[in-house]
Structure 1
């Protein structure tokens, strides 16, 4: 049988076009598989959005699980001897702070040399004895004994002393200045020793010595000493930064607005979550379109669990329900704040609110209960993890089905191609035979007539 290089050439039939139509028809078998994969992928994306909203709500709930959140303070500072930063939990009150001495670091300079780049007399060792009992040494080689080399060697040692070079404008202007990295007596240098040939090249100028000292202050009559001008815990959860001598007054009062802001952030985060869940599960009758997770059991379970915790409240305490402090659950599932009721609760019983949200005496508050519930949704092995794992497994299974179906389609098309090629060759041969016979009959007819 003759070989046909292209379908339809031998027969004159559009076998190639027919094969393309058959291939397109076979490929339609892949469409529902791909569509199912896409639907699962869309659900995974939807659960990702839900996870993000749940995580933000969890963060807002965790913020309320700290009793210090309900001990927020605001400060009023008069005087210029210091600045102050406060943390939640700082005790309210008025503090008179008198700074009688600022902290400073030890420093001393060497005698001058004419050239900071010039090599000095030779090698040697510098030894530094520190105020805290520690010591360290720096070895100087003869070829690396310029003032700049010595400065760099000291700084690279990181022993608690920093070296720098200054010029005093004299005939021998360059001096090596040695300073403690830390202020106060513990960070001071108690003794500096030059040994070897270096001792003949450098000497300390005692007139330049600045002794180390600690900061001294009086806080409401209590004497306080600090190694630095950065004073912590002289007042609980307050950091004082001394700037100069003098007296300042620090007044700490409870910051009710910060408490209200934290509670408001909690309510807003839940309402954002509720809106997110609603958009994923709603049905638009006008456009007849459904949310990606409409009727999804995982989403319904999450909504039910959160609503149960929020409406269940606590079994004991001054506040047992969110509504006791002006936070009510609406018909649409969102939370709403009555500002007047919440303001009254904060002003009259911030400690009771702390117990409600953050717990007290080893008993969990609402925030901890929510965190446990949300953990069952968000943590590894939680409900969202499980549902997305299941969807990914389904996508992988569908991909296997897609690949197998595609292979069967390819085999079917190849079989059609072979059959069409055989048909093309057969029709071509029959056409050739027909043409030959026609010629023979025509010749025979001509002979007969003549």
Structure 2
């Protein structure tokens, strides 16, 4: 059988060109399938945009569905003696603070030796404790140096930091210094070595109960922090003080005075409510874009007339236009948020500011309710959660389109196979036609030659 490249040689016809035209015509059957696939893919992309906008609105609603958020405070410190961090249970007010003493950690220093790297020839058990805490025991090998002892203490987790100080003494400059990792008088250290007659035993011993007991010298005494808040004296083991001001953690930085002002963070609440409104309006703008239609140009949104989007719009309107039951505020309009004819929300900032300043508890109750799904924010979050969850309206619509695209892909493959079969059949038929015409042309030439010879013999030429 002749190949495609040889089609038309025998007949002189442009059979290759004709076959290409037939192939192009047959492949037009694939165009509607491709167009449908693109259309459905565009809708899937549109659902993705809708889902993203819904998720952002859900985040904004979830922020308001937390009663502790409405109890947030801001703290401002005047003076450098303290810094402060307020929690949700902080009591608003003004507090005068005076720091008269910072908490200190105890430090103990051993007598010096000539070389921190030489063997101390002391085998035994080093016992350390901080305050009333449990003892930490460390096995010391006979050939350990002062540096080895330091490293063993630091690796033991005893709550004690060891270091070696060179005090410049001509004969014995290297001294082991132990510092408690915790501050306060309840974190004094106890140190002992099992072999008290050894070199290390002579260096390391201290009994906090005995005051100066032991061979080590107390270089820094443990101290509690001392401060007053509004004239009330307070003592603390640490420079981080909790409870001196309700819900506020004070960090003492130096002795001196400071003034702490704690106020409700009304600005954060107003900002969150504005974020709720802005996020919904962005969602509304996105939905309007996805359902747009321009009668003059014919431009249309990917979800124009889509039942899923209509369902989303309807559910959101219902929840935003509903009420939360009993309470000072029952509807969005009560807190300065009104639902417009075009579906957007409009915020009356003055009304919201009045609600935040004068009735924050009622505003919190309106948005948060008695449980996670009770208030306005909870109801919105629940509705959006059902829309966005696996098996929800958006996911189901997206999955339905993906299934349809998959079926169209299978249809495309079958149609393409049929087209290839048809073109193959045309190719076979053209090859046969080409061969038949070539044979006919050959026969015609032979007969013409014979007739010409016959006429020449008969003298007719």
TM bucket, shorter chain: 0.7 to 0.9
Give the aligned CA root-mean-square deviation in angstroms.
Answer: 3.1
**Which of 299, 311, 314 lines up with 2:309 in the alignment?**
299
Measured in 2, the distance between the counterparts of 1:310 and 1:3 equals 72
The secondary structure found in structure 1 opposite 2:8 is: coil
2:212 equivalent in structure 1? none
Give me the TM-score of the superposition, normalised by structure 2: 0.86
Measured in 2, the distance between the counterparts of 1:135 and 1:385 equals 60
**Which of 260, 267, 272 lines up with 2:277 in the alignment?**
267
The answer on whether the counterparts of 2:97 and 2:259 sit within 8 Å (CA) in structure 1 is: yes
1:136 Cα deviation (Å)?
A: 3.2
Relative to 1, partners in 2 of residues 1:413 and 1:236: Cα closer, same or farther, differing over 3 Å?
farther
The secondary structure found in structure 2 opposite 1:428 is: helix
The secondary structure found in structure 2 opposite 1:290 is: coil
2:78 equivalent in structure 1? 78
1:354 Cα deviation (Å)?
A: 1.2
Q: Map of 1:5-404 to 2, 5 A cutoff?
A: 6-113=6-113, 121=121, 125-139=125-139, 145-171=144-170, 172-184=172-184, 189-193=189-193, 199=200, 203=204, 206-207=216-217, 209-220=219-230, 224-360=234-370, 364-404=374-414
2:210 equivalent in structure 1? none
The answer on 1:414 being equivalent to 2:424 is yes
Unaligned regions of 5+ residues in structure 1, if any?
none
Unaligned regions of 5+ residues in structure 2, if any?
206-214
Relative to 1, partners in 2 of residues 1:127 and 1:443: Cα closer, same or farther, differing over 3 Å?
farther
1:26 Cα deviation (Å)?
A: 1.8
Measured in 2, the distance between the counterparts of 1:123 and 1:239 equals 46
1:195 Cα deviation (Å)?
A: 5.8
Give me the TM-score of the superposition, normalised by structure 1: 0.88
How many equivalent pairs are there? 449
1:433 equivalent in structure 2? 443
Relative to 1, partners in 2 of residues 1:320 and 1:147: Cα closer, same or farther, differing over 3 Å?
same
1:115 Cα deviation (Å)?
A: 5.2
Relative to 1, partners in 2 of residues 1:100 and 1:415: Cα closer, same or farther, differing over 3 Å?
same
Q: Which runs of 4+ in 1 moved over 6 A?
A: 1-5
1:258 Cα deviation (Å)?
A: 2.6
Measured in 2, the distance between the counterparts of 1:52 and 1:113 equals 70
1:411 Cα deviation (Å)?
A: 2.1
Measured in 2, the distance between the counterparts of 1:220 and 1:302 equals 56
